Amino acid sequence: MRIHDSAIGLVLLLLAAFMAREAAGFPPMPGQRFGPSLVPNLLAAGFAICGLALVVSGLRRREVEGLVELGEWARKGGHVLDVGLVVGGLALLILLWKPIGFLIGATLYTGLLAARFRGGRLPSSLLVAALACFAVDWAFRRLLLVPLPQGPLTGLYW
Amino acid sequence: MAAFETALGLVFEPYTLWMMVLSGLFGLFVGAMPGLTATMATALLVPVTFFMPPVPAVAMLVTATAMAIFAGDLPGALVRIPGTPASAAYVEDAHRLTRKGRAELVLGCGLVFSVIGGIFGSLVLAVSAPILAEFALGFSSFEYFWLALFGLSCAVFISTGRPLKGIVSVLIGLTLATVGIDPTAGHPRFTFGSVELTAGVSFIPAMIGMFAMAEVLRWVTSPRTIEDLAGRQKLGNVFKGQWQLLRRYWPNVLRSNVVGTAIGVLPGAGADIAAWVTYALSKRFSKEPEKFGTGHIEGVVDAGTANNSALAGAWVPALVFGIPGDTITAIVIGVLYIKGMNPGPTIMLNNPEFLYAIFIVFVLANILLLPLGWLAIKVFRRILAIPREFLMPMILVCCVVGSFAINNSVFGVGIMLVLGVLGYLMEENGFPIAPAILGLVLGEMIESHFMTSMIKADGNLLAFFERPVSAFLGAVTLLVWSWVVIGAIRRSLRGGPAPTGEAAVP
């Protein structure tokens, strides 16, 4: 997904303004002329200069037609939906991390994604995903002692 | 000598050796899968290393990366997709040689010259690191500030052809590093009331996101088709003809070793840039430049040697100054801190056995590359047969677990997701990722040295040039910046286009 350089430049200018405003609220260091706001202010100045340069160069170069250009892949069957599923599914997995646990959540996530990428065959995708996630759960919980949440399966396996 | 003997004991423990073999196989697998990089192999291994003693942990990372860089040659030669960006420079020659029925020669060449490059780089690391460390003991906050800034400048101006986007990338990394408690006054910055953010943006989830997750997103948006020559090739003895190549091209090998290691040592530039530069040099000085790109082995010899020698070279600034030479060592520095092995000149005083262990691991990993690499060539067809439709979702799960494991908190997974999407968008729009990662890793170091120096000098900026080494480093850094800025202004006045990154980075 390509975004027009000028639009990126504008975002950087806004970011610079936001950083400078936030940094203005940082207290100075006792006995010094500078404090925690010095580096954020320098970075904000850097963003402002680069943002301006990008706005100007974007208007001169015009590499991207319009504000956003999705590219060839977006025209191929459902690639946009695939990206949405990867990102949205992961966001959902984070939200449901504790209630449904790692094993159930990760199996559903990988199984459904694999089925989507393979163009169907949901049962076999879910089966392979369940086995693979079980192996990951075993390795991390049993061998590496990472407390992955078990959700409704708490106490049913190791 | 006692430290060296202790190091030998640490490395030649069965546990460490097993971990090296296992991570070697993992590195070969990741490198051989088109689209998965050596940096990704390192990022995915980090959560596993949390639970290990330091030497096996570092041994795993060193072995996996050496294997992954070599294994990148396999899909490059057989399916014309470089397995890692470090193999991209010579993919055309390697693939055309395969088409001519010389897969045996090109794969063997990749293997043998990777080993030679790797061992050369390891020797340079072993010789130069202790000397440099002793020299660096006299450094103060002024020198460290300039050195870190020089590293970031190199990352900006070497890794991308369009400096403006490289600078933005560095600024993003530095800004992420300012999140949390500030290093001098202890004031929380940009935390938005979140307790988790007061500890800052943890860079392991950040790197897993920016490299591994962004890679998966790139695959999702790619055509997902592969031209397979692997099934049509008969592979016999891959070592046949390599001695003749070495005898014929020994000056090239020597030159590529030196240039590759030097590029590796330079902060911010790693194996991929070493491969591109040595391939270009190879063509420039070749007696048959017209044959390059048509299936000529000379460029493969040169760049194949250089990308592995750069790997070890990148460890020199990482170990001696705590400044990463490339993205892989940026991750390694994080692991070293977690293990309490703070990189810097005092590592030679505090943990000499650890430093020797790293040297031994490097040489051993490169020797191990011969049998494991041979095995990878033999089973490559099977590696490629693993359906990407399953592999990519599983990589995402590994990213999730790895990001969770750093603090046992789902917040890390959130950081991984956000920075994964950001990393994908950045690369799509020509903003290189490496400077952002280096900015994130070096941010706190730069700020604390800068603030300490400012307090020492009472705000007098001239004090940054008062000590001889500091003045030299400052002058070099400012020279690099002026050269780039003047170049950009001249181009802009002439009305010509700014260079793009294609020449330097695939």
**pLDDT surpasses 80 at B385:** no
**pLDDT surpasses 90 at B421:** yes
Whether A36 sits inside 8 A of B189 (CB atoms) is yes
pLDDT in tens, B183-215: 888 889 999 888 888 988 887 788 888 878 888
pLDDT in tens, A16-59: 999 999 999 888 888 788 889 999 999 999 999 999 999 998 88
Q: For residues B23 and B26, give the distance between their C-alpha atoms in angstroms, rounded to a whole number.
A: 5
pLDDT in tens, B215-260: 888 888 877 665 555 555 566 777 888 888 888 888 888 999 998 8
- Tokens read off for B80: 């014309």
Identity of the residue in B178, B397, B417 whose CB atom sits nearest the CB atom of A133? B397
Q: How far is A116 from chain B (nearest CA, A)?
A: 9
Identity of the residue in B185, B393, B408 whose CB atom sits nearest the CB atom of A147? B408
Residues contacting residue B251 through CB under 8 Å, at least 6 positions apart: none
Whether A109 sits inside 8 A of B221 (CB atoms) is no
Q: List the beta bridge partners of residue A68.
A: A3
Whether A110 sits inside 8 A of B185 (CB atoms) is no
Q: For residues B403 and B211, give the distance between their C-alpha atoms in angstroms, rounded to a whole number.
A: 13
Residues contacting residue B177 through CB under 8 Å, at least 6 positions apart: B200, B201, B439, B440, B441, B442, B443, B444, B447
Whether A144 sits inside 8 A of B405 (CB atoms) is yes
**Residue A145's closest chain B neighbor by CA?**
B51
**Residue B395's closest chain A neighbor by CA?**
A110
Please check whether residue B83 is in contact with residue B76, taking contact to mean a CB–CB distance below 8 angstroms.
Answer: yes
Whether B389 sits inside 8 A of A118 (CB atoms) is yes
* pLDDT attached to residue B503: 33
pLDDT in tens, B153-189: 877 776 556 788 889 999 999 999 999 998 888 889 9
- The average pLDDT across B424-450 equals 86
Whether B451 sits inside 8 A of A118 (CB atoms) is no
Pairing of strands B188-189, B180-181: antiparallel
pLDDT in tens, B275-300: 888 888 888 888 888 888 888 888 88
Whether B390 sits inside 8 A of A132 (CB atoms) is yes
Whether B220 sits inside 8 A of A83 (CB atoms) is yes
Alpha-helical runs (H) found in B196-326: 203-207, 214-220, 242-265, 271-285, 297-313, 315-321
From chain B, the residues in CB contact with A36 under 8 A are 182, 184-185, 187, 189
Q: How far is B452 from chain A (nearest CA, A)?
A: 11
**pTM confidence score:** 0.80
**Residue B457's closest chain A neighbor by CA?**
A32
- pLDDT band, residue B266 (cuts 50/70/90): confident
